[in-house]
Structures are given as C-alpha cells and as structure tokens.
Structure 1
C-alpha cells in the first residue's frame, strides 16, 4: 500500500472539473488524509483546458507532486497534456465518449469507462463526474460510504432523489471500473489515515477568516483573480457580525474607502492583485502621509499588465516595497501556508494600528488558490493590539483656546497618539500634504525634515514572530542555504530533504517579514552557508536583490528563478540545485 498518491482530473473548463476535485478531496479529508491541491485554469469562464491536481498523503504535504498516479480524463487533450507526469504503474481512467487514445510513449494503463453514457442512463450526463469518482474509488479501493456524506452536504438542498441519483452514479462508476481493472482493482490503495478531522481550505479563505478574527468589520474591493475569494468569503460572513463589504467601482476607491473606515475606527481592508495594487499606489502614499492604518492583501499573479491572470508568479515584491512615490514607512509580510496566512492577517491589522501605516500582506496565486490541509486553529493565540488609540476619557483635559490636538506629535518611536473623529478635544487637520504636529499644512524645510524623520523612525521597531522562519536551519556549516517566500516553502522543504539524503548539508530559511528586512536575523544564516540559493517565481531575482541590498554577501548568492506560470516542483528544484552546488 502507498503512503501518498497524486490524482488529477482534467477536461474543458465549465464541465465540472473543479467540482469533481472538490468532492474527491472532501472525502479524502474526512478520512483523515493530508491534502494539497493546485488548479490549472484559463482566464475565461468556459472552455479551454483545466485540471485539478490533488496530492493525498498520510503525512503533511505542502507542495504539488512532480509525478502522477491517477489521471481522470474527460477529453483527449487532458491525456495529451498530462500523461507524461504518470508513473509506469499509473492509470488513466477516461470517458469512452471521446474515444480516448493512449499515446505511443505512454507506459500508463488506459481504462476506458463510459462516464457520460452511465450518467445519461441515470438521468443526466451532468453526473459523469460522479461516475468518474466511483471509478477512482475502484482504483484506490476507497469506501463509498464516505462519499454519501459529501454528496448529501453538496446536493441535499436539491432533495433526496438528487442525492440518491448521484450516489448511484458513484456506485455504477465503481462497478464499471472494477470489472475493467480485474486483478488491478485497488492496486493504488493508500495506507489508512489517522482519521483526525482537519480543515481543508485555500489561502484566501484563511486570510478572510484571519481578518474576521483580527477584528476587521469592513472590506472595500474590486473583483480580480486571484484575490476575489477573500471578498466573496467576507460578503457571506461580515453582515452577521455587524460588518459590511462594498464592491467598489475600482481599486482606487477601494483603497481610499478602507483608509476612511480605518480613520473612523473600524478595522478595514482591501485585497487585489498586481494591476489593482498599481492603481492603489497613490492611496498607499496617502495612508503613509496621514499615518492612517491600512491593510492591503496582494495576491501575486503573472504580469505585467493583464499578463497571466490565472498563473503563478512572485513579481510584485519590489513594487510592494518601493512602489509609492516619495518615501513612507510601509510593512510587507508574507505567509507561506494557509495556517500562517490566518495568523499573519491578524498580525497585519495589529501592525497597521501599532505603527499607523500601510501593511501589505503579500500572497501569491499558489498560496491563495491552492487548497491544503490546515490543523485546527488556536484562537487563544489571537491578540488585538490597537496601538496608541486614545480612549475618550484620556482627552478630557481642556486645551488652550484655538489649540489643536497634536495628532502628528514627534515621539521617540515615531508613533503619535491617534484619536477617532468626534472625540472631545481631539480636533486636528488631516491632509495629504506635508503638515506640522497638529496636521496643519506646512512647507517649512525644518518641519519637513522633522516629520519625515518621525515617520521613517517607525520602521526601526517593527518586529514579527518568525520574521525569518529558521525551522529548517540545523547546520552550522551548510553547503546550501535555501531561501524563499510565500508558497515555495513546500517544494524547498522536500528538495532539501532529498539533498540531505544524498549527503548535502542543507539549511532552509523562509522570509516572512520582507520589509523592513530582518537583516540581523538573516545574516548569521547566510554566513554559515557555502552557497545561498534564493528560490523565487520572477525573472529578475527580486528577493535575491533585496537580500544583497540589506545583507551583502553577493558572491555566494545564487538565484533559482521560474516564471513560466507553473509552481516549482520538488524534484525539479532538487535537480536545479545540484547544478549550482
């Protein structure tokens, strides 16, 4: 029996590929397996090849698998595009309707099951995906009962007849595949899972849940791939908590609305992707100049311009740090798993209010839309820190006549007291031009330098738990130090383990605080390595450049870059690394 298995379903976009993967993975999750899923899809509503690859394991997995055990095909294109990933012992199970052909150089076995015909005989061809799931059950020797609960949950509102018909489709698919497989039935069975109940979610859902737990009650956003799920999640949840979501006319309005809501005292956010962040840049500068908290989620995708809107990339890093005109304090943090995305979102709101500046939560398509197993979250770890927000009773002392509250008072740490509109004795100016301590516009060169120094001083005290995640750094004299951010973590961890097994000493550091860069934490790790290999999804080595700027050691820093729209795979990363050692 197998400890892990990789399964993929493919076909034309709009014919149920996503729902097929969802039903399969929900059942495997309920059996207690660990999962990691990644969808390849086109930037259109219907048509074009799409596939959903799901890795199922008895232990934690955080990356897409290089190879493939089972390929479920709804068209010939799925076979032609994906068969090369299959093991020699892999199985293609395909719908008889399109007369599937196994390529000449394929070593996988082709099993032809009449998905569409069986589904049509049961009432509708739409159930062909359920027949395909039944066929998968025969290959993996899975219990059909676990799917009944999933089918009931998904189709229960349509009535018991619909639930029963879908279960019959699964059962008929199981029988048909079992007969065709003969002795090979159950040949790709997995070892039994531990049966524990865990969450299975995409990174965007984890971010949205983190926003709720962190006290956010307002979101303004404009839909864009791959960030829209954050807004869709909060549209369903925030109203019940007294909150609201507004779909704005554009990203400029979204960012300024979020600033306004934060100014009024409501924890607020917006979320977008690269093109939307470009439009927000002036507003981000406004947040920095007016010292208003602002949380922005940037889910990176292929660029520039419209680029590859449904493909993986990490090319927004420089823009997120240096994109605004002029200089402002800004914090950029980057979770690497869905679990981290939940906690880091809470941290983002705390940091935004503590330092009264924009905080960008940087994600990427693989993390935002990839679905993964998440251990139960610890809500006792959730702490709310509103910084120097003044309670009304602290402002009761009368001010001198015509004296304004010093909203931008120069302080030792650069952070001033903040008040909400309407508080007694809290009147002050708020303007995007340079201003004095009370907010009144000022073009004094002396004042300008003081206020600039005050704002930039905030960055000196920014901290984040595990700003550099060093859990994978165990050697004092490593041959390689792998460095990455966001979703590259899983592939790096697996590549590192394989290189270690081959006698190469490997450390791994994942950067979670990208700006201000935690140079003091990172430098000792780089010093202890012969080579520093920076793994990132862009063409120019942006993270490598950031490291060189802040730490130096350019002579030992090498880049492993991938920018074809696909995620790094563990074996691929292992082989590329060996070429650099």
Structure 2
C-alpha cells in the first residue's frame, strides 16, 4: 500500500472538469486524507484546455507533486499535454469516444472507458464527469458509499431523481473499469487515512471567513480573477451576519467606498488582482493622508496588463510597497497557508484600526485558488482590536474642533466616528493641521509627515518570519513567500538526503520589512537562495536593500505562469551551490 498518490483530470473548459475534481476531492476529504490541489485553467468561460491536479496523502502536505499516478482524460489533448508527468506504470482513464492513444515513450496503462456513451445511456452526456469519477475511484479500491455521499452533497439541491441518476453514472463507470482492469489496482491502494476531521478550502474562502470573524460587514469590490471567490463567498455568508456585498462599477469605486465605510466605523474590505490594485493607488494615498483604516486583498496573477489572468505569479510586491504617490505608512503581509489566510485577514483588520493605515494582504493565485486541507481553526486565538477609537470625547470649548490628527508619542491619533458628540473635525486629502483644517505651513507639514511615518516604527507582526532553522551554519538558506513554502520543504528533504544542510524562511511581513529579524539567518548561512514567481527578483531586491549581503544572495525565479515543482527547486539549488 502507498501513503500518497497524485490524480489529475483534464479536458475542455466547461466540460465538467471542475465539478469532477470537487466531488472526487470532497469524498477523499471525508475519508480523512490530506489534500493539495492545483487548477490549471484557461482565461475563457468555455473552451481551452483545463486540468485539476490533486495530491493525496496520509500526512500533511503543502505542495503539488512532480509526477502523476492517475490521469483522467476527456480528450486526446489532455493525454498529450499531461502524460509526460505520469510515473512508470501510471494509469490513464480515457473516454473511448476519441480512440485514445498513449504518446510514444510513455510507460502507462490505458483504460479506455466509453464515458460519454455510458452517460448518454442515462439520458445526458452531462453526466460523463460522474462516469469518469466512478471509474478512477474504483481503481483505488476506495468505498463507493463515501463517494456517493459526496455526490448527494453536490446535487442534493436538485432533487432525489438527479442524485440517483448521478449515483447510477458513478456505478456504471466503476463497474466498467473494474471489469476492464480485473479489479482495483493493488499498486494504487492507499493506506487508510487517520479519519480526523479536516477543513478543505481555497485561500479565498479562508480570507472571506476571516473577514467575517474579524467583524467585516461590508465588502465593496469588482469581480476579477483570481480574487472573485472572496466576493462570491461573502455574497452568500455576509447577509447572515447583518452585512452585505456591493459590486461596484470598477475598482476605483470599490476602494473609495471601502474608505468611506471605514471612516463611518464599519469594518470594510475590498479585494482585487494586479490590474485592480493599479486603479486603487490614488485612493490608497487618500486613506494614508486621512489616516482611515483600509484592508485590501491583492491576489497576484500573471502580468503586466491583462497578462496571464489565470496563471501563477508573485510580481506585485513592489507595486504594493511603493505604488502610491507621495509617502504614507502602510502594511503589507503575505499569508503562506490556508490557515494564514484566515488568521492574517483578522490581523489585517486589527492592524488597520490600530495604526489607522492601509493594510494589504498579499496572496498569489496558487494560494488563492488551490484547494487544500487544513486543521480545524482555533477561534480562541482571535482578538479584536479597534485601536484608539474614542467614544466619550472630553468636553471642548465653544467652537473648538476635535484634534483628529493630534501629534502623539506613537504617531497614532485618537479617532472618532461621525456623529460622536464633541468629535467635529475636518477631513481632507490635502495636507492639514491637527484638526483637519487644510494647511500649507512648512513646519506643520514636517510635523504631520513625521507623525504619520512614525506610526509603524518597530512594527513586527506575529510570525513576520516563519522559520525552520535547525542548523546553526547551514550550507543553504532558502527564502520564499506566499504559496512556495511547502515546495521548498519538499525540495529540502531531497537536499538533506544528499548531505546538504539547509534552513527555510518564509517572509510573511513584506512591509515594513523585518530586517533585524532576518539578518542573523542570512549571516549564518553559507549561501542564500531567494525563490519567487517573478522575473526580476522583487523579494530578493528587498532583502538586499534592507538587510544587505548582496554577494551571498542568489535568485531562483519562475515566471512562466506555473508554480514551482519540488524537483525544480532541488535541481536548481544543487546547481547554485
């Protein structure tokens, strides 16, 4: 029996690939397996090759696998594009309708199943995804009743008749392939999972859940890949908590609406990708000048311009840190796991309120849309901090305005909500004095700039660096961000087998940069590799600028739209050292 296995389904977009993957992985999750998924999809509503890959394991995993055990193919293109990943003796379950052929040089077992024909016998070819699911599930020798339970969950809202038809489709696929193969494949039988309850979600859903728990009651946003699922999740969930989602006409309206709602005291967020973030830049400056809390999620994708809207990239770092005109304090944090997406979103709302600044949560497409197992969330960890929100304003002299932008020791001024007795003050995007009145006085300008920019002095969030540093003086230190952490650890296992000692750091506080915390690890390592999905080494540049050691740091870059594979990282590190 094996402890892990990799499964992929491919076909044309709109052909049922996504729903097949969803039901297959839901059933595996019910059995207690750890899962890590990656979606490769076209930037079209229908048509164009798409595939979903799932790594299944009895132990926690945070990276896709290099190879592939089972490929389910709805067309020959799916075989031609993906068969190269199959390990020796791998399996292809393909629709017999297109007379599937295994490419030359590929050592794989082909099981042609009349997937479309069996579905049509039930009344519609739409159920071919269930026939295919049943066939691949049966080869693993897993209990069919668990899979049928996932089918009921998927189609239950459509009525019993639809559920029964789909269950029948599953059985047809299962029976046909078992007859073809002579039973389940012994070399593909998975060890029993621990059976423990696990959450199974994408990063965007975890962000949405974190926003609700943080007290967010309004999201203003414009749909964009790969951020739209945050909006879709909150559309369903926020009304249950007295909140709502407003789809605005563009990202400029979305961010300014969020600023206005936050000024009024409602915890509000917006989410977008690189193109939308570009449109928000002027308004982010407004939030900085007016010292209004603001939470923005940027789900990075391939750029520039429309670029690769459905592919992996980490190229917005410099835009998030330096994109606004002028100089304002802001915070940029980068979750590295599904759990981080939940907890860091809550932390983002707290930081925005505490420091009265824009906070950007930086994710990437793989983390945002890759469905993964995670342990149950600990709600006892959660604390809400609204910062210096004043509710009982001391009585002021007649016609005296509230000093909303008062110069304080820590740079953070007391804040009141509109309508608070004694809280009357000006709000403007031009430079102003402590009461908000416009002022171009040179001394006042220096005082206000110094006040705002001093807010974040010494800020270091919990786990701003996540470290795995067992070696005092390692041969290699690998640094990454976002979704790359699990891939780095998988590569390090292979390096360790070769006798190469290594440490790993995931940078989770991007700005202000945690220079002092990172410096000792870089100093101790013989060589440093910074791994990131962009062409210019943006994270490496920040490290060199803030920490130094430019002669020791080497970049490992990938910018073809695909995430790193463990084998790629292993090979590159071996060559670099």
Normalised to the residue count of structure 2, the TM-score between the two structures is 0.99
Distance 2:103 2:6 in 1: 20
Residue 241 of structure 1: aligned partner:
241
1:550 aligns with 2:563: no
Deviates more, 1:401-410 or 1:198-207: 401-410
Distance 2:9 2:44 in 1: 19
Residue 231 of structure 1: aligned partner:
231
Deviation of 1:160 (Å)? 1.7
1:174 aligns with 2:174: yes
Q: 1:502 is matched with which residue: 494, 498, 521?
A: 498
Q: 1:432 is matched with which residue: 425, 429, 432?
A: 429
Check the 8 A contact 1:531/1:556 in 2, yes or no.
Answer: yes
Residue 463 of structure 1: aligned partner:
460
SS state at 1:234 partner: helix
Check the 8 A contact 2:140/2:184 in 1, yes or no.
Answer: no
Residue 193 of structure 1: aligned partner:
193
Check the 8 A contact 1:413/1:461 in 2, yes or no.
Answer: no
SS state at 2:50 partner: strand
Distance 2:156 2:139 in 1: 27
1:451 aligns with 2:442: no
Deviation of 1:85 (Å)? 0.1
1:131 aligns with 2:131: yes
SS state at 2:246 partner: strand
Relative distance call for 1:184 and 1:31 in structure 2 (3 A) is: closer
Map residues 511-522 of structure 1 onto 2, 5 A cutoff.
511-522=507-518
Residue 397 of structure 2: aligned partner:
400
1:34 aligns with 2:54: no
Normalised to the residue count of structure 1, the TM-score between the two structures is 0.98
Deviation of 1:162 (Å)? 1.6
What are the ranges of 5 or more consecutive residues in structure 1 without an aligned counterpart? none
Residue 372 of structure 1: aligned partner:
372
SS state at 2:188 partner: coil
Map residues 143-182 of structure 1 onto 2, 5 A cutoff.
143-182=143-182
Deviation of 1:266 (Å)? 0.4
Deviation of 1:82 (Å)? 0.3
Residue 418 of structure 2: aligned partner:
421
Distance 1:446 1:343 in 2: 41
Distance 2:64 2:130 in 1: 24
Coordinate RMSD, CA, aligned: 0.9
Deviation of 1:148 (Å)? 1.6
1:360 aligns with 2:350: no
Deviation of 1:186 (Å)? 4.2
Distance 1:461 1:438 in 2: 27
Residue 13 of structure 1: aligned partner:
13
Deviates more, 1:128-137 or 1:353-362: 128-137
Check the 8 A contact 1:201/1:338 in 2, yes or no.
Answer: yes
Moved over 6 A (4+): none
Deviation of 1:433 (Å)? 0.3
Deviation of 1:183 (Å)? 6.1
Check the 8 A contact 1:139/1:187 in 2, yes or no.
Answer: no
Q: What are the superposed Cα offsets for residues 413-432 of structure 1, whole Å, 9 maximum, x if unpaired?
A: 10000000011110000000
Deviation of 1:182 (Å)? 2.2
Distance 2:425 2:528 in 1: 50
1:564 aligns with 2:560: yes
Check the 8 A contact 2:480/2:530 in 1, yes or no.
Answer: yes
Deviation of 1:185 (Å)? 3.2
Distance 1:122 1:176 in 2: 15
Q: What are the superposed Cα offsets for residues 386-431 of structure 1, whole Å, 9 maximum, x if unpaired?
A: 010012x2x1x32122211100001111000000001111000000
Deviation of 1:498 (Å)? 1.4
Q: What are the superposed Cα offsets for residues 137-157 of structure 1, whole Å, 9 maximum, x if unpaired?
A: 222111100012111111122
SS state at 2:401 partner: coil
Check the 8 A contact 1:178/1:185 in 2, yes or no.
Answer: no
Q: What are the superposed Cα offsets for residues 459-478 of structure 1, whole Å, 9 maximum, x if unpaired?
A: 104221110111x1111101
Residue 530 of structure 2: aligned partner:
534
Distance 1:20 1:95 in 2: 14
Distance 2:50 2:387 in 1: 46
Distance 1:450 1:285 in 2: 18
Residue 340 of structure 2: aligned partner:
340
Q: How many residues align?
A: 577
Distance 1:357 1:157 in 2: 44
Deviation of 1:496 (Å)? 1.1
